[in-house]
Every structure is written in C-alpha cells, then in structure tokens.
Amino acid sequence: MPAGGREPKRKRSAPLNGGGSEVASSGLAMAPSSSVEDADALDCGVCFLPLKPPIFQCEVGHVVCSPCRDKLKATGKCHHVCGVATGSYRLCHAMERLVESIRVPCPHAAHGCTARPAYNDRDGHRPACPHAPWHCPGEACSFLGSTSALLDHISEVHSWPCITNLEADKYGEFAVHLHDGFDFLLADCPTANMKQGATATVQCLLLLTVARQPVGRTISVLCIDPHAAAAASGGDGPAASKQMECRLTYYRPWDLNDNNHHGGHQVWDHHQQSNFRVACTDLSDGMPNPDGCFQFVLTNSVIGAYYKYTGRCV
C-alpha cells in the first residue's frame, strides 16, 4: 500500500469484444474474470493484427510482431509513427506472457460454444468452431442457429423432408426417395473412395433440390456448411476438407408385375448416372444461382422409380 495509507484508484474498464476476458495466472489470487479497456494495446502497432509470440520490443519500448520487426529492421528505424532510430530489437517476454494469458469468449458463445480461446487465436478458433450458426435456405427466412436447431426448424417451420438417419453401405452409397422442392440429408460421407478401403467419414448436411421443368425434373446438390466462406478464402477448419465429389444415380427397373410395360410405358428399364463436384455454401447470401451448379436432368418419360445418391468427400 502506498505512503499515506490510501489504496490507489483502479481504472474501470469495458469488456473486450462484448464479454469479459479471462486472465490466466498460476501464482496470483485473481478475480474469476477481468476485462481489457483498450484491446488495441494487444495488437501490433504496425499491422494492427493481434500480437503473437515471438513479440519484439525496440529500445524506446514499442512492441511489434515478428513479421513487422523483420521489415522495420532493414530501415534502421522503429515504429513507422515515431520513426525513432534504433539499433536492435529484443524479445519482450512480458508481453508474450500477457497476450497468451488473456482469454476471450468465442464469437459463437450465444450458440453454445464454451471455448475461451486466447485473444490472439480467436480468428484461428472461429473457422473450426463446431457451434458456428447455420442459416436457413428459405427465402426471406432469417433463422440462425445450431445444427440441431436448424434441423428442427426445417421440419417444424417449413415442413421440408429431412432425413437424419441415413445408413450407407460399405461403399458409402445410400438410396433415397426425393420430393419436389428441398430435400435435406444429414449423412456421414466417406473422406475417400470406400472401395479403396477408406473408413474415415465427415458429417455433411446435403441439400438436394428437385425442380420441375417443362421436360421433366432437375436435381441440384449443395453441401451446407457454416464454415464454407472461411474455407473459400483459404482458412482452415472442417469446411476446408469438404470439397465433395458426388455420384447421383437414377434407376428405373423393369417391373415384372407391370403388364403395361410394352404398352403405355415406353421405357421399362432406365439407368442414368453422373459424377460431379458439389459446392459448399454457408447460405449467408441466400441460395446460390442454380445456373452455377450442376443440374442432373430427368425427362418425364423416365420418372417414376427412385433416386440413388452416392456421395464421398475428398
């Protein structure tokens, strides 16, 4: 306690990123959570990105990240704002310990994530967070929620067909009956060709859209993934591996009990198959333009049996 017996005043601080940031400590008794008033103090003063070890300090006391230190070292000057000449940088272990100890809530905490990543790793946690919210593909529908909430929303609010108990065979194939409009399939898709002995799977939410056309039906396939945008921009996480190859097969067999197959039915046996890539989307901008997706076309003369869908992730 300072001279005079008066305790120094403590500055009140605002929560970081909408919530308190936990400061870990192994040797001091601390409150369960603290907060940081100026989050910019945890960012590099040159590139303004969160500081990550190794962190360097100039002779004046400014701290910069390693990539910026390498750029400034060649100029012989410190921070681009102060421009003070400096001869060298040294590691700042105190700042390294500080930034590694500060924890912040996950951006998806409202959707059930309890993780508290380090402040400088929050962008690394976001693409891999299993609680990232899902968008509804319904036009003008503003739903945003967890996987289970989306599946309930699909069935209860929109009454769209949604199959969540698909059982694939040893080759990763499964047969489904499709309806006009949206058909949702929650399936464990193999991460490689099952015929080559692959056993790993990844859970995918597939949206198969059956659209009526003057000559028959078109079927398009999308993989819905809340991390799709991050993967498309080169990020890591589950979506980065969900570049899906699919095989869609339609088969109409000859019904031996149908005595009219030589009469009114011009086709009594039809097999149609296509292999194509499936786009992943987070639906944040709504449904993609159908013209940008592969469309499996069935004419009216062959429709009447079932669709056999085979998918695998590579």
* Domain layout of the chain by residue ranges: 41-102, 160-230+244-255+267-313
Cα 169 from Cα 288, distance rounded (Å): 31
Question: What is the model's pLDDT at position 31?
Answer: 41
Residue where the block lists tokens 């500081």: 51
Ramachandran sector of residue 151 (left: φ over 0; alpha: ψ -120 to 50; beta: rest): alpha
Pick from 95, 125, 121: nearest CA to 109 = 125
Question: What is the model's pLDDT at position 40?
Answer: 72
Per-residue pLDDT of the chain (314 residues; tens, 9 = 90+): 444 443 433 333 334 544 444 444 333 333 445 555 566 778 888 888 889 899 998 877 888 899 988 888 777 777 655 666 666 788 999 888 888 888 888 888 888 888 888 888 877 787 778 888 899 999 889 999 888 899 999 999 999 999 887 777 777 788 888 889 999 998 877 766 545 555 677 778 999 999 999 989 999 999 998 888 765 555 544 444 456 788 898 887 766 565 554 445 566 778 889 999 888 888 988 888 888 889 999 988 887 645 555 555 54
Terminal alpha carbon distance of the chain? 64
Question: What is the model's pLDDT at position 82?
Answer: 62
DSSP state of 77: B
Q: Which helix (H) or strand (E) holds 95?
A: helix 93-101
Pairing of strands 181-190, 162-163: parallel
Cα 108 from Cα 146, distance rounded (Å): 10
Q: Tokens at residue 101, please?
A: 């100890």
Cα 77 from Cα 71, distance rounded (Å): 10
- In sequence order, the β-bridge partners of residue 135 are 144
At 59, the amino acid letter reads: E
Enumerate residues 6+ apart whose C-beta is below 8 A from 147: 134, 205
- Phi and psi at residue 178, in whole multiples of 5°? -105, 155
Domain 41-102, classified CATH 3.30.40.10, yes or no: yes
Cα 64 from Cα 70, distance rounded (Å): 10
Cα 262 from Cα 255, distance rounded (Å): 11
Residue where the block lists tokens 């305790």: 7
Question: What is the model's pLDDT at position 27?
Answer: 38
Pairing of strands 244-252, 216-224: unpaired
Pairing of strands 22-23, 102-103: antiparallel
- In sequence order, the β-bridge partners of residue 23 are 102
CATH of 160-230+244-255+267-313, one of 2.60.210, 3.40.50, 2.30.30, 2.60.40: 2.60.210
